[in-house]
């Protein structure tokens, strides 16, 4: 069953972004994943929660693939880099049937 990593990001600075986004897409692909949404221009449809600056949705063949990407040795320094200029709420969710 496919799984998805869904993230909501608040960006405080952009210094980290060039290096981060030059490396992350290939790591996602190495783990069988790809972007469905990147940036996404969020727009509020319902509720009162503040919108993030950016949203992303990554699709992976399975939860194992998604977790292996997130926990990979290569991704860990990039997490720290991203955290130097942003805050992120991220979750992994399973897709519907298959």
pLDDT of residue 98: 62
- Rounded Cα–Cα distance for residues 15 and 44 (Å): 27
**Residue ranges in the chain whose pLDDT is less than 50:** none
Domain ranges of the chain: 3-42+56-94
**How is residue 83 written in tokens?**
């955290």
Residues forming beta bridges with residue 92, ordered by sequence position: 5
Write the class of the CATH domain 3-42+56-94. alpha beta
**How is residue 45 written in tokens?**
């449809």
Strand order in the sheet with 34-39: 34-39, 54-60, 3-11, 86-94
User: Cβ neighbours of residue 17 under 8 Å, at least 6 residues apart?
Assistant: 11, 85
24 close to 90: Cβ distance less than 8 angstroms: no
pTM (2 decimals)? 0.93
């Amino acid at each position: 069953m496919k799984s998805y990593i869904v993230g909501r990001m608040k960006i405080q600075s952009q210094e980290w972004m060039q290096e981060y986004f030059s490396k992350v897409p290939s790591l996602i692909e190495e783990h069988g994943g790809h972007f469905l949404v990147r940036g996404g221009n969020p727009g509020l449809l319902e509720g009162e929660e503040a919108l993030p600056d950016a949203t992303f949705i990554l699709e992976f063949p399975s939860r194992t693939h998604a977790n292996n990407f997130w926990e990979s040795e290569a991704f860990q320094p990039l997490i720290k880099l991203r955290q130097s200029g942003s805050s992120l709420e991220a979750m992994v969710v399973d897709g519907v049937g298959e």
